[in-house]
Chain A
Amino acid sequence: MKHFITIISLLAALSWMGCRKETPIDEDGLLITTRAECYVSNFELLGADFQTVRTKNAVIDTVACTVDVTVFYGTDLTHLYPQFTLVTDAKLDPKITGFTDFSDLTNPRTYTVISGNRQVRKTYKVLVTVQSR
């Protein structure tokens, strides 16, 4: 009788664990959640010396999907390191892998923010302005 109860309890525990839904993850190994929020909350731009090149905080328009950033006079735009702060669970495409060339001011770089549930995508334009004399 005693052994029978133990086996039943074990089976119940196993079946409970076995029926649990697997947590969904995307191709990057990141958790897919229920959050639908999709925006950039902060933006930083670093120079070759990993110090900021921004003259003031970047202006982020979450409706127009633009990031306006003014950089110091003489900034080398070919070698900048962008840093995005996103809403919880969101991710960025393309990923930031190193220094990026922002020197083509007529064709601003674009980055897409993808929401936590991977259903909403918003493409932001990074508009760089160099401080003028």
Chain B
Amino acid sequence: MRTIAVRYIIPLFCLGLLLTGCKDKEYAIPAPENAFQNDCIKRTLGPNVAGLNIEFAYAIALPATRGKIVSAQVEASIAGEAATYLEHRSYYTNGSGEDVGIAIGDPSSNEGNVTRVNFIKDTNAVTLRYFYAIPRSAQGKEVRFTFSAKSSTGETVSYSMGPYAVSRMDMVLDLPVKNGDACFISVADMAVYTEKEASANPDKIDLVYLHRAITGVTFGHALVSPGANAEYLPDVVLPPGVNKITKVRKTWNLRDFHLARLQYGIYIDDLDFEQLDMNGSPDYVLNLKSEAGTWVETADGKYRAYIYMNKVDDAKKSATISMKRYTLK
């Protein structure tokens, strides 16, 4: 019995294994679904900040035998800003690598919460981009979207996206600051004032931007509280009433994608401001470089902010700053 097993059964079994193990599965072209279909992806990352867009790609398709697409629309739970639109072009990439848009309908129209595109070309498959311009009214709320499309036979498809939390943060980009000129920074207004403007709003000035090249020490570009030790405000004449003590802390390697618009995929979110501990922070920061940042807490504790140095210019004694602000109270 043992001899039979060794002589015949085991070799046969091995041969069988070899034959079955090496068989390639034949590829078969998947059969298209004979239905009106749609799909959607969200393309933007990071926190949803008022003033920015949330971008989606909405794909719609149906077999030629079932008619053509006649319209596509998106309904947002909170109406977007006027800049909200649904792309009316379908793109393909040409031989030079450029995206070429083919208009498939009229430009979209916004009616309340609904953004609609009516098709004017016979179209069976298309991917449309949707740009939802986040309104300030949505701050701290959640927003949902219902994408839908209609075919010439009256058939409809829809796809729900969300909910997406809209950040409570405010944001302002590329404010130019200049030593001795536009150098008074207001976190409350998210603006930069000149001396004359600062005199009119003394209670709103949180920081003074200055640049000094002092022999023997490293001063450079600085953000100093008006109420800080006068030693850190050399030759600065403050308008009357400008005297707040703002907590600031220098940071490096925090190049928020919204503020810096560089390749680093880092985002400051509401939670960062909520968990920020500014206890014991100084009221001045000196020697700020390009791409550095500063956490800020206003004297009244109402606002926390992150000020990013987009660009500094030693010769012109100026800089470009961007700011994200979070209201605590």
Which of these, A48, A55, A74, A78, contacts B232 with CB under 8 Å? A74
Task: Tell me if A3 is interfacial: C-beta within 8 Å of chain B.
Answer: no
Q: Check B292 for interface membership: any CB of A closer than 8 A.
A: yes
| A contacts with B, residue count (CB < 8 A) | 15
Interface residue B95 (Cβ < 8 Å from any Cβ of A): no
Q: Which residues of A contact B219 (CB under 8 A)?
A: 73-74
Asked if A79 is at the interface (CB within 8 A of a chain B CB), the reply is yes
A79→B280 contact, CB < 8 A: yes
**Binary interface encoding of chain B residues 234-273 relative to chain A, with 1 for a CB under 8 A from any of its CBs, else 0:** 0000000000000001111100000000000000000000
Mark the stretch among B9-17, B47-55, B143-151, B282-290 that contacts chain A.
B282-290
A49: Cβ under 8 A from any B Cβ: yes
| Chain A: minimal CB distance from B217 (Å) | 4
Whole-angstrom distance between the alpha carbons of A48 and B280 in the complex? 11
Residue of A nearest to B250 (CB): A49
Contact B218 A73 (CB under 8 A): yes
Whole-angstrom distance between the alpha carbons of A49 and B286 in the complex?
12
Q: Assess whether B280 is in contact with A73, with CB atoms less than 8 Å apart.
A: no
Interface check A47, CB cutoff 8 A = yes
If A49-B292, A79-B280 touch, does A73 touch B217 (CB 8 Å cutoff)? yes
Complex Cα distance A72/B232, Å?
Answer: 13
Is B30 located at the chain interface by the 8 A CB criterion? no
A67 to B253, CA, bound (A): 29
Given contacts A49-B292, A131-B216, A133-B214, contact A74 B284 (CB under 8 A): yes
Q: Which residues from B are CB-within-8-Å of A55?
A: 218
Q: How many residues of B contact A (CB 8 A)?
A: 20
Interface SS of chain B: loop
**Most chain B CB inside 10 Å of its own CB: which residue of A49, A50, A78, A132:** A49
Within 8 Å of chain B (Cβ to Cβ): is A51? yes
| Any B CB within 8 A of the CB of A68 | no
Contacts of B216 in A (CB 8 A): 131-133
The total number of A-B Cβ pairs within 8 Å is: 47
Is A37 engaged at the interface, CB distance under 8 Å to the other chain? no
B314 CB to nearest A CB, Å:
17
B297 to chain A, nearest CB (A): 14
Q: A131-B216, A131-B217, A133-B217 are in contact. Are A74 and B250 (CB under 8 A)?
A: no
Bound-state CA distance A49–B249 (Å) is: 8
Chain A residues near B292 (CB-CB < 8 A)? 49
State which residues 58-83 of A face B: CB under 8 Å.
Answer: 72-74, 76, 78-79
Tell me the complex Cα distance, A47–B284, Å. 13
| Chain A residues in 8 Å Cβ range of B284 | 74
Rounded to whole Å, the gap between the CB of A10 and the closest CB of chain B is: 35
Set of chain A residues within 8 Å of B218, measured between Cβ atoms: 55, 72-73, 131
B320 to chain A, nearest CB (A): 20
| Assembled-state Cα–Cα distance A131/B286 (Å) | 13
Indicate if the CB atoms of B252 and A72 lie closer than 8 Å: no
Note all chain B residues with C-beta closer than 8 A to A76. 281-282
Q: Which residues of A contact B286 (CB under 8 A)?
A: 72-74
CB-contacts of A71-99 with B (<8 A): 72-74, 76, 78-79
Q: Which residues from A are CB-within-8-Å of B287?
A: 72, 74
Minimum-distance CB pairs A-B, first 5: A73-B217, A49-B252, A74-B286, A76-B282, A49-B250
25 CB-based A-B contacts, threshold 8 Å: A47-B250, A48-B251, A49-B250, A49-B251, A49-B252, A49-B292, A50-B253, A51-B252, A55-B218, A72-B218, A72-B287, A73-B217, A73-B219, A73-B286, A74-B284, A76-B282, A79-B249, A79-B281, A79-B282, A131-B216, A131-B217, A131-B218, A132-B216, A133-B214, A133-B217
